[in-house]
Structure 1
Amino acid sequence: MPGLPNELTDQIIQELHSEHKSLKNCALVCQSWVVAAQRNLFTKLNVHERNVTEIVDHLSSGSPRIADYVQHLYIFLWGNLRVRANRMAVSEARPLLPHLLSQLSHFTNLKQLELDGCRVFHDKQWDVSWTDPLVAACPSLSHLNIQHITFQDIPDLVDLVSSFQTLKQLTAGELDVASASHEYSNEPQEPYEGSKVPPPLISKIQYASGHHFSSGTGPFLRWLAGGTLPLRTLDLCLDAEVGDVNAGVELIQSAGRNLEHLSLEFSDQWHLWEGFDLAANTSLRSLVLKSVDDFDSEIVEFLQSLTGPLEYLTLGRMDQIESDERRSLIEVLMSPAFASLTRVNLYTLFVGSEGLADEIANEHPEFLKRGIAFIESTP
């Protein structure tokens, strides 16, 4: 019987990209469906302690077919033991990356690499001997994600990131520096003084300060800020306890007029960001402040420092600031300086969103009548 055109079959199977069980079944229907099903099934490949041997054996075979389909490779450096961690498993864990290094060159279409140390292995460190063969195997990587990894010192982290010169997006979170002080984690760390420069194409950085067994990586953020990067998007969750706040502020300011999207959260009881404004970010179109109480009474002044044609604004924890400050904030958003706004999301934390909506409707009915403000409880 005549079959479906290949283009139609590919389109149907592509719609199932997130349904792994269905994709597996499609691969068993007939020979003509195998390639389309496997291409979608193996777009992302997770490597952990339970499958690493099988994957290495496949890659070592004469024709490692699935490697051509992988665009997103996620490697748990010492295994994925977050859920079932126990002392014996952690103490006996062996690094998985060395087993893969000689086979990584088979992933010819790799675009995104994630290296996850898993927070239960906070006492295990990145081995600098892994860096060069890893970079050699992934010469055209566009997105690097490093999570829950301990580096001996800042140069080891810089060497890893700087070696991927084609990077366009960098994601980093819960990193630690073993040589930094852990007794007083907010103590200033030694700055990076080497010659390595950040990858010149990075336009998006997502960074979250470490909280568990972490010293923070402020010198690494300052190294990024010192580069000439075309930064358009920054998503930063900064913790003063580990000394990252001021370094993150420098990174925002270094982006200058290139910056279009900023998402920001501080955990800073000392207000180390005093004097921070967005006057230099003249192209900013989207701003997310996850906790307006991070700025206390200075939230209004901070928003007034904006000079770009802001279109989208999100403010979280609106119920955590005083009524007078909230009133002043709404008045600022109604001013001609914010006439470019097309959507405003206001979130509450503990209080129901109806109460805040009623308060704003009573005091500033014209603000809600614009039809751009949406008030909800934090999901």
Structure 2
Amino acid sequence: MTSIHSIPPELIDLIIDHAHADRSLLAACSLVCKAWFPAARHHLFSNAKLNAENASSFVNLINSASSTINPFVRHIDAKDNCESGRWVEDWFAKLTSLPFVTSICFTSSCDTVLSQTTLRALRSFDRLVDLRLVGCQFADFIEVQELICSFPVLQSIYLEADWPEPFAITPTETSPSPHLRELYLRCEMSHILDWFLMQPHVAPVSKVTLHGLDAVELPVVGRYLQALGPVLTHLTIFPSGSVYNSLSDHVNLSLNACLQYLKLVIDCDSPDLTMARTFLSQVDSPLFDEVELSFYSVRQGPRLAREWTDLDKLLATPKFSSMTRTTISAMSAAGLAKETLPLCHQRGVLQVQRHYTISCSANSTLSCLS
């Protein structure tokens, strides 16, 4: 009979990894022997989800002399909700005893600016590779700049935040992380992008999402995407208003020669379909793999028939021969895409997706394939 001591440690870790969702089993494994302790504790405590109900007890636990979980916490998901009671001001700064946190998602539903105490605590996590700020308020743009520059190895930023209009965007003594690869902006993105363009070297961001893009911001967006050039591989645009009427006048996707994925969230009417086709016609990348068009509803009709036909023909041209997916996502009538894009359907690249928005929080869309 094989004893547990004769099983290779690598195999034991794989077995414990397989049980990552069974917290009672993981707790039992962590008590079996010292060899099982790290893998089990990793799954039990790597993700700390904190709110007004549990934050104080968690902080007291990690700051107690007998705590053994501190080295295992990698991600902090902190939600400050005014309705259920604020806790961040009193407790967040005490999380700095966690030495190996690499990811923070900070969500605030309170209409107040982040305090200096909270900002200092955030800046102390200098191992961060992923920072997500949702619904946050800053006293000024300088605070935003200082926060972003605090993380030398940061790779991903999700910024849904507000701050007063600055008198001017000025350079900073320090720069954002040169390792930055993913950028999601749902804020005054012209301030961020203007500042990024002031750096001696623009970080090679490969994935960009612009949520709430308006026409005023198009010039700086065009300059930023041009500066990224072939580094950019994924681009997602959620417009605000009639951005598509002038999008192709400011943004030239032919300069992004390694683009692989493009997502446009548009209205299913004639002007937007026309501009989507015009914008797509700029794509000049041999690596281009997928275009996703997201609608509230897919519609047909005499006025739209020509636009759908022209879009379908464009996607069937040799310049899109590398494309393996044309994804149409919509909250209703998504199945009509097979009729409106027959060439894509016949080619076998059309993917139809119905999506339902179930929450207002970041990245909270539940989708199912039809």
TM class by shorter chain equals 0.7 to 0.9
The residue aligned with 2:162 is: 176
Aligned mates of 2:117, 2:334 — CA distance in 1: 53
Do structure 1's residue 375 and structure 2's residue 363 form an aligned pair?
A: no
Of 82, 88, 94, the match for 1:95: 88
Amino acid corresponding to residue 199 of structure 1 in structure 2: S
Query: Does the residue aligned with 1:230 lie in a helix, a strand or coil?
Result: coil
Residues 313-363 of structure 1, C-alpha deviations (whole Å, 9 max, x = no match): 22222725822111101111111111111222223443250x3313443xx
Q: Deviations over 1:155-200 (max 9, x none)?
A: 1111111121221111112x111x34xxxxxxxx643224243222
1:308 to partner: Cα distance:
1.2
- Partner residue of 2:317? 335
CA shift, 1:236, in A, is 2.4
2:298 to 319, 336, 339: 319
Match of 1:212 in 2: none
Matched, 1:207 2:185: yes
Aligned to 1:287: 262
* Alpha carbons 2:105, 2:133 under 8 Å: kept: yes
Measure how far apart 1:285 and its partner are: 1.2
The residue that corresponds to 2:359 in the other structure is none
Q: 1:247 to 1:48 in 2, by over 3 A?
A: farther
- Are 1:128 and 2:110 matched, yes or no? no
CA-to-partner distance for each residue in 1:23-43, whole Å, 9 max, x for gaps?
A: 345446676644432211111
The counterpart of 2:15, out of the listed 3, 9, 12, is 12
Contact kept in structure 2, 1:238 and 1:245, CA below 8 Å? no
Encode CA deviations 1:16-65: one digit per residue, 9 max, x unaligned: 32344543454466766444322111111123222222222223223532
Runs of 4+ aligned structure 1 residues displaced above 6 Å come to none
Q: Give the 3 Å change call, closer, same or farther, for CA 71–150 of structure 1 in structure 2.
A: same
- Conserved in 2, the CA contact under 8 Å of 1:154 and 1:217? no
Q: 1:152 aligned to 2:139?
A: yes
CA distance in 1, matches of 2:141, 2:57: 35
Within 5 Å, give how 1:155-304 maps onto structure 2: 155-173=142-160, 175-177=161-163, 179-180=164-165, 190-196=167-173, 197-209=175-187, 216-227=188-199, 228-240=202-214, 247-269=220-242, 271=245, 273=247, 275=249, 276-291=251-266, 293=268, 295-304=272-281
Contact 2:338 2:350 in 1 (8 A): no
Letter paired with 1:202: L
Structure 1 Cα separation of the partners of residues 10 and 294 of structure 2: 45
Contact residue 292 and residue 315 of structure 1 kept, 8 A: no
Structure 1: distance between partners of 2:153 and 2:334? 46
Give me the TM-score of the superposition, normalised by structure 2: 0.81
CA distance in 1 between partners of 2:167 and 2:21 (Å): 45
Deviation at 1:145, TM superposition (A): 1.3
Number of positions where the alignment pairs a residue of Structure 1 with one of Structure 2 = 341
- Relative to its length, the structure with more strand (as a share) is 2
Structure 2: gaps of 5 or more residues: 356-366
Distance in 2, Cα, partners of 1:19 & 1:207: 35
CA deviation map 1:96-127 (0-9, x unaligned): 4x5343551x423221122222x2x01x1112
Aligned AA for 1:162?
Answer: C
What residue identity is the alignment partner of 2:204?
Answer: P
Partner in structure 2 of residue 53 of structure 1: 56
**CA distance in structure 1 between the aligned counterparts of 2:116 and 2:217, rounded to whole angstroms:** 24
Quote the offset at 1:95 in angstroms.
Answer: 3.2
